[in-house]
Amino acid sequence: MFTGIIETIGEIVSLERRGGDLRLEVLAPALDWSDVALGDSIATNGVCLTAVKLTGQSFVADVSVETLNFSTIKYWSLGAKVNLEKALTPQTRLGGHLVSGHVDGVGEVVKRYTDARSERFTLRAPKELAKYIAHKGSITIDGTSLTVNAVNGDQFELNIVPHTLVKTVIGSYGSGTKVNLEVDVIARYLERLLLGDKAAEANGAALTEAFLADNGYLK
């Protein structure tokens, strides 16, 4: 688990295709490596990756086909900058929100504009994820814990303060930038719980307005 509070920005220094999936290396001299061990999890642009090799200033990780399909890693190239966060401990301050590092899908920046000292971003989410994004709710963008300022269909707005622009890769975003999205895990569990016994069926019932009405959730 993570908090969505980025510790430093790393750089992709190696990308190696291996039998259909990928092995990569991330260089991060500014990260505190003193408490990192083989097998530890490091959120890399929001993707929970397992360190299979450590060099002192970098780590190597394997990326499965599943992760490639649901994240922006398939678009990465040498020199790409990535947000990094080590896994939280019982002593970690939960400054953001609970982040699993399990990316739900890829979103896209629609537009960016200046609002006083902050920057405003409008992003588009995949339609199947839009229902989990709520006004003033939490969302993770490339591993960064953020608050949703407005929602309009499959689009939502973010207000990014100067500190976050400097300390994360968000400062480099422009129209068309692809980003990793992780929705609030509570919304996913709530949907599953509302389905009740129907959730155990082979193809599961869909949580629609009709389903909610039929099962007494709406009057």
The pLDDT profile of the chain, 219 residues, written as one tens digit per residue, is 999 999 999 999 999 999 999 999 999 999 999 999 999 999 999 999 999 999 999 999 999 999 999 999 999 999 999 999 999 888 787 787 889 999 999 999 999 999 999 999 999 999 999 999 999 999 999 999 999 999 999 999 999 999 999 999 999 999 999 999 999 888 877 887 877 777 777 565 565 656 555 666 556
Return the domain boundaries, the chain.
8-86, 105-184, 185-219
Give the bridge partners for 54, in sequence order: 59
How many whole angstroms separate alpha carbon 216 and alpha carbon 194?
11
Distances (CA, A) of 159 to 65, 111, 152, 180, 184: 33, 12, 15, 17, 18
User: What is the fold, at CATH topology level, of the domain defined by 8-86?
Assistant: Elongation Factor Tu (Ef-tu); domain 3 (2.40.30)
What is the per-residue pLDDT for 15?
Answer: 98
Structure tokens, 186: 């509570």
Do the two domains 8-86 and 105-184 of this chain adopt the same fold? yes
Rounded CA separation 146/181 (Å) = 11
CATH of domain 105-184: 2.40.30.20
Residues 31-48 as b/e (b if ≥16 CB within 10 A, e otherwise) read bebeebeeeebbbbbbbb
Distance CA 63, CA 208 (A): 34
Quote the pLDDT of residue 95. 81
